[in-house]
Amino acid sequence: MFELLGIPPQALFGQLLLGLINGSFYAILSLGLAVIFGLLNIINFTHGAQYMFGAFVAWMLLTYGGLGYWWALILVPIIVGITGIIIERLLIARLYHLDHLYGLLLTFGLALIIQGLLRNQYGISGLPYAIPPQLAGGQNLGFMFLPNYRGWVVVASLIVCFGTWFVIEKTRLGAYLRAATENPTLVGAFGINVPRMITLTYGFGVALAAFAGVLAAPIYSVNPNMGADLIIVVFAVVVIGGMGSILGAIITGFGLGLVEGLTKVFYPEASSVVIFVIMAIVLLFKPAGLFGRTA
Amino acid sequence: MRKTGFLLASLAASLMASSALAQEVSVKIGVLNDRSGIYADLSGEGSVIAARMAAEDFGAEAKGIKVEIVSADHQNKPDVASTIARQWIDQDGVNVIVDVPTSSAALAVNEIVKEANVLFINSGAAASDLTGPACTPHTVHWTYDTWALAHGTGSAMVENGGDSWFFLTADYAFGHALERDTTAVVEASGGTVVGSVRHPFPGTDFSSFLLQAQASEAKVIGLANAGGDTINSIKQAAEFGITQAGQALAGLLIFITDVHALGLETAQGLVLTESFYWDLNDSTREWSARFEGIDGDKPTMVQAGVYAGVLHYLKAVEAAKSNEADTVIAKMKEIPTDDPLFGKGEIRADGRKVHDMYLFKVKAPADSKGPWDYYETLATIPADKAFRPLNEGNCPLVQ
């Protein structure tokens, strides 16, 4: 079969591994979107900008504050998460009683503003951000040279994705969250502060995006458009996985990374559309997405 | 057809009438480029600044030429570029469109200016087709082209032993043209092209394509892409140990802003071809310092090309005392070009502006004396060798 496709199996393994690495970014980002949509019913179009902002804050911490990668990995999600909380309290909270469309427009506008401001300040070519020395270099796996940093990206995103899934699906806090999604009034009646929980959830979703931004900073150029390029694909991932489905977002994230990786080998010209073709097919046969429930 | 002809004739007539009344010529210059995407730093607002500087340095006002400069963002999309160009020509009375990076957008604008009373001084795009099969009587291709890049960087790589190539090509007109022209150079010098892969434009992750290039075992990986795509390709090639393993990268089109974004640590040793560098001589240094004072960054060759192109256009307008496209282009081709940035040169019948090109090597961090001190000159490619010979381009205007 491999001979038929004209690709030696070793090269194929290499490409699958790369697909997995790209899938890690899709997974973390679509996870954040799914969490936010699941609990807030807000289609967070600012997500890409928040991912980009995460990378920028990491760069700023290094350039202006002298704080390196490991600090950034902890501090950036907190800082960007707090900006998310402020945005939710000041703006998004006013839209919950309105149609989805308003939240979408608001967050889309915010994304354009954040991008525009950073573009004005830092230009478009991108800023250099070095790979931390502990993760420099790479391993020769026989079939490919795997940079240590890319390996770390996969591990880190698996941990974060699993952790999030575990908290939401298996803990008491997660149970409150899920209950609040189903019936906020009833959960509130049990003495749980639902608005605060929603605010924190948004902050958490944003922090996930920022975390992905820090992971991306050393391998992609840190530039104001990095989120805009990615967010459309991530939305397709969320739609394929099923809006609001946590596990769906994670599995489709990694899965589509693999599919895209294979497309880059067999028909590179199509690699930017393959995900949307899959999205169209999935929507035709399962409108709620692969893992979604029909309401 | 007839209708547009009439429209243009009446537009031209009204422009002529108004200039006759005011006893002066007025020209409207439209800077059309990428203002928000991956080519915004190498063209963008900097090109508008360059055009404005040209009008001021020329002293247009004192010479009775009223200059108005407008600008727009074509988002690197041919359809957007066409729409803006049509509106500028039909409604806004723009006399000359300048810059227009992104070859697919430039070729679209090129089609429109062919029949219209407007000139097109392209500085930003690379495809050599603009002065080849697609040449028009109204188009001038100023700064560089894929033929010049291929012959500069391509020949230099082959001479240094890089005789087998694999291309990483941006999947649109520019990438295709650059791959085609470089392939011709490599094969003419006795090298071989073992393969190529076309990546979506613009892209983010090039690791998959780079591994395919690595598997090809070619000695040289030719990057037929530009701007952010090139930056990411080079960054990721270093990350995946491709350059360390012995394959050489040939950045076929690298701008100084790309080197700035990559940092010298990653970019050092790259060999590249450009037609302008701020630190070439006293006049380039003087102009670049003024430019940096306004823009904040040193100019790219694209922005320098906008300045020189507008300057030469205004000279021709002054000599012709007209803003009629056909009259002005005749003067532009008649008067030899001479400006502080590209020196002396000429515009050929096919629209190709010829001047020297330079083969540069990116300095190691230790050799750089400060910000923007990035290049050392390896060779000067004289004007008569730098560009495709007039009779080889298949331009209908010279047959």
- Domains of chain B plus CATH, in order, are 2-144+282-355 (3.40.50.2300), 149-274+357-386 (3.40.50.2300)
Q: What is the mean pLDDT of chain A?
A: 90
Which chain B residues are Cβ-neighbours of A230 within 8 angstroms?
Answer: 204
Which chain A residues are Cβ-neighbours of B171 within 8 angstroms?
Answer: 268-269
Average pLDDT over residues A138-166: 91
pTM: 0.86
User: Any idea which residue has 């392939």 for tokens?
Assistant: B183
Flag whether residue A151 sits within 8 Å of chain B, measured between CB atoms: no
For B34, name the nearest residue in chain A, comparing CA atoms only: A124
pLDDT for the residue A259 = 93
Q: Which residues pair with B67 in a beta bridge?
A: B27
Which chain A residues are Cβ-neighbours of B263 within 8 angstroms?
Answer: 128
Give the list of residues 6+ apart from residue A231 with CB closer than 8 angstroms, or none.
A29, A45, A47, A48, A51, A111
pLDDT exceeds 80 at position B291: yes
Instruction: For chain B, give the percent of residues with pLDDT over 90.
Output: 83
Chain B (97-156) residues lying within 8 Å, Cβ to Cβ, of chain A: none
Q: What is the dihedral of CA B261, B267, B273, B278, to 10 degrees?
A: 50
Q: What is the dihedral of CA B312, B314, B315, B317, to 10 degrees?
A: 130
Flag whether residue B227 sits within 8 Å of chain A, measured between CB atoms: yes
Q: Which of B171, B205, B253 to mutate to test the interface with A (most CBs of A within 10 A)?
A: B205
Flag whether residue A22 sits within 8 Å of chain B, measured between CB atoms: yes
pLDDT for the residue A5 = 58
Q: With beta carbons less than 8 A apart as the criterion, state whether A220 and B205 touch.
A: yes
pLDDT for the residue B14 = 52
If we measure between CA atoms, which residue out of B226, B224, B270, B273 comes closest to residue B249? B270
pLDDT for the residue B23 = 55
Q: Which of A49-58, B168-177, B258-267, B329-338 has the lowest mean pLDDT?
A: B258-267
Give the list of residues 6+ apart from residue B67 with CB closer than 8 angstroms, or none.
B26, B27, B28, B29, B55, B60, B61, B314
How far is residue B262's CA from residue B258's CA, in Å, rounded to a whole number? 6
Q: Which of A7-11, B347-351, B383-387 has the lowest mean pLDDT?
A: A7-11
Flag whether residue A24 sits within 8 Å of chain B, measured between CB atoms: no
Record the tokens describing residue B16, joined without a space: 């002529």
User: Any idea which residue has 């033929």 for tokens?
Assistant: B147
Encode pLDDT of B195-254 as tens digits.
Answer: 999 999 888 889 989 989 998 999 999 999 998 899 999 989 988 888 888 899 999 999
Contact check, Cβ <8 Å, A268/B235: no
Encode pLDDT of A84-141 as tens digits.
Answer: 999 999 999 998 888 889 999 999 999 999 999 999 899 888 888 889 999 988 888 8
Chain A: nearest CA to B80, how far in angstroms?
Answer: 19
Flag whether residue B356 sits within 8 Å of chain A, measured between CB atoms: no
State the DSSP string of B199-261. Answer: EPSS-S--HHHHHHHHHTT-SEEEEE--THHHHHHHHHHHHTTTTTTTPEEEESS--HHHHHH
Cβ-nearest to B211 among A119, A144, A149? A144
C-alpha distances (whole Å) from A96 to each of A186, A284, B340 are: 17, 29, 61
Longest dimension (CA), chain A: 64
pLDDT for the residue B21 = 43
Contact check, Cβ <8 Å, B245/A145: yes
Q: How far apart are the first and last CA of chain B?
A: 26
Which chain A residues are Cβ-neighbours of B197 within 8 angstroms?
Answer: 268
Which chain A residues are Cβ-neighbours of B235 within 8 angstroms?
Answer: 219-221
Which chain B residues are Cβ-neighbours of A268 within 8 angstroms?
Answer: 171, 197-200, 208-209
Flag whether residue B73 sits within 8 Å of chain A, measured between CB atoms: no
Q: With beta carbons less than 8 A apart as the criterion, state whether B110 and B120 touch.
A: yes
Encode pLDDT of B352-381 as tens digits.
Answer: 999 999 999 999 999 999 899 999 999 999
Q: How confident is the model at residue A15 (pLDDT cuts 50, 70, 90)?
A: confident
Average pLDDT over residues B296-320: 96
pLDDT for the residue A177 = 87
For A227, name the nearest residue in chain B, comparing CA atoms only: B204
pLDDT exceeds 60 at position A157: yes
Contact check, Cβ <8 Å, B207/A124: no
Instruction: For chain A, give the percent of residues with pLDDT over 90.
Output: 59
pLDDT exceeds 60 at position A42: yes
- A177-189 burial by CB neighbour count: b if 16+ within 10 A, else e? beebbeebeebee
Record the tokens describing residue A18, joined without a space: 């790369």
pLDDT for the residue B10 = 54
Flag whether residue B258 sits within 8 Å of chain A, measured between CB atoms: yes
Contact check, Cβ <8 Å, B208/A264: yes
Chain A: nearest CA to B191, how far in angstroms?
Answer: 25
Strand positions, DSSP E, B242-374: 248-251, 271-274, 337-339, 343-347, 353-354, 357-362
- A262-276 burial by CB neighbour count: b if 16+ within 10 A, else e? bbbbeebeebbebbe
The ipTM estimated for the assembled molecules is 0.84
Q: How confident is the model at residue B11 (pLDDT cuts 50, 70, 90)?
A: low
Encode pLDDT of B196-208 as tens digits.
Answer: 999 998 888 899 8
Q: Which residues pair with B358 in a beta bridge?
A: B274, B380
Sign of the Cα torsion A221, A222, A225, A228 reads positive
Chain B: nearest CA to A223, how far in angstroms?
Answer: 9
The full set of domain ranges for chain A reads 225-295
pLDDT for the residue B9 = 55
Q: Which of A37-46, A254-263, B19-28, B69-78 has the lowest mean pLDDT?
A: B19-28
pLDDT for the residue A3 = 47
Neighbours of B390 (CB within 10 A): 15
pLDDT exceeds 60 at position A2: no
Flag whether residue B340 sits within 8 Å of chain A, measured between CB atoms: no
User: Any idea which residue has 């080889």 for tokens?
Assistant: B392
Q: Is B66 exposed, middle or buried (0-12, 13-18, 19+ CB in 10 A)?
A: middle
Q: What is the mean pLDDT of chain B?
A: 92
pLDDT for the residue A141 = 83
DSSP A270: G
pLDDT for the residue B26 = 94
Flag whether residue A269 sits within 8 Å of chain B, measured between CB atoms: yes
Cβ-nearest to A145 among B203, B204, B241? B241
pLDDT exceeds 70 at position B39: yes
